Structure 1
Amino acid sequence: MRWVAATIAYDGTNFFGYQSQSGYRTVQGELEKTLEIIFKEKITTYGCGRTDTGVHALGQVVSFPVLNDNMTDKNVKDALNAILPEDIYVREIKQVRDNFNPRAEATKRIYFYLIYTNKEPDIFLRNRVWWMPFDLDIAKMRHAARYFEGEHDFTTFKTGNDERNPIRMIYRIRIINYNKNIICIRIEGKSFLRRMIRNIVGALVKVGTDAWEPERIKIILEAKQRSLAPASAPAQGLYFYSALF
């Protein structure tokens, strides 16, 4: 027996998030169901990030044991992709040390958030982006993003009953204008609180629409009050892009 890490992509539209939940369709649930078909016994998987309902992934990392020593990494990849539903795809399989847990081992996680700015919506992008019928001030958003970088107490930017330590490190935020209508907010950090990224994006959009000045970010960050922050950005624009170990 050996352990492997799978890099997977998925369309989160029809999943109730990544983590297994009884009675709901989840990414982890589909993976473990498929592994049971392949290896004829239940296998527990360990994911790098617990994405919410509607959130997508390009580089989620999941570890598990391979119970058949005759299967190569390519065999495992091909077997998974032959059985998994069409909204999950295994991009890579590679061997790792025994009991490797990507959630604990990741040194950096990178997320993308995509915003589509146009007067008219693109119905083919409705589950992929946050549509806004107006332009955003990218320069102001970049100015505001600098207040998030570094180590801070992100109490203002968490949602719900997340009792973990609110002190988090954001290494870098880049705001990239891919083309005339697509804006990408790229956020790099070691780990994040519940909905922290979507709450940060919601605040940056407030700045981009000129509803807030960039300096407002520093004020509400230091206040440590969730009530001062805007609503979360919608799930469909968020992508787990990659993790580093």
Structure 2
Amino acid sequence: MADDYNDQIKYKESPYNIDSDKAITALGMRKALGTKEDVANRQEAGDAAATLDSNSLDTKYPSSKLVGANLATVRANLSAEITNRANADTALQNGKEASIAAGTTAQYWRGDKTWQTLSDSHTHDTRYYTETEVDAKLSDKQDKIAAASGTADGLMSAADKAKLSGIAENANNYTHPTATEYGSGLYKVTVNGLGHVTAATAATKADITALGIPGSDTTYAHPTATEYGSGLYKVTV
């Protein structure tokens, strides 16, 4: 019976071990048939489940005709999808603006889809001005003023403002107190803690003698001395 298999080498080896001079055992037959597909499991183009998809069974194997038919369907669907997408892209492109040609730096793109040249002359209200008008108005303005210094006028600095703010209100509003006038003379005076004379009384003779000064005139007599003519002397003083 081994001749029925054309003495294929694989059937002579493990696991079949079928040789031309040996009888085929039931075990060998089962192993040989185990390498073959059951024709009952073949799925053909005419079957009810002729579509190959995720619902196909693992226990079935498709014929080449069924595979070809399904591939033809896939190709047709893919071709239709490509056509639909191409048509959609064309429609989308048709809805876009045409390419805009480049203008110049002196132009602007106007709402009517045309390039227009900017103009310096225009009629306007006070909300905006041309460059020339702005320059004319700024020419009448004061330049930025620097901080004042000891030699130049200017703005008050932050340090000067802080110093000025630290001076109390009416700090320099000073009025010197009035005092009683006294004519020329010798007086006993009273002075307060601010150095002001608050009282003055004419001094009397008693006030003077109380200081140890004599109450009457004094006569001074210079002592006598020996007269010497002109010359060189040793003297005792």
Q: Tell me which interval the TM-score lies in, with the shorter structure as reference length.
A: under 0.3
RCO greater where, 1 or 2, for CA within 8 Å and sep 6 or more?
Answer: 1
TM norm structure 2: 0.14
Bigger strand fraction: 1
Give the number of the structure whose alpha-carbon radius of gyration is greater.
2
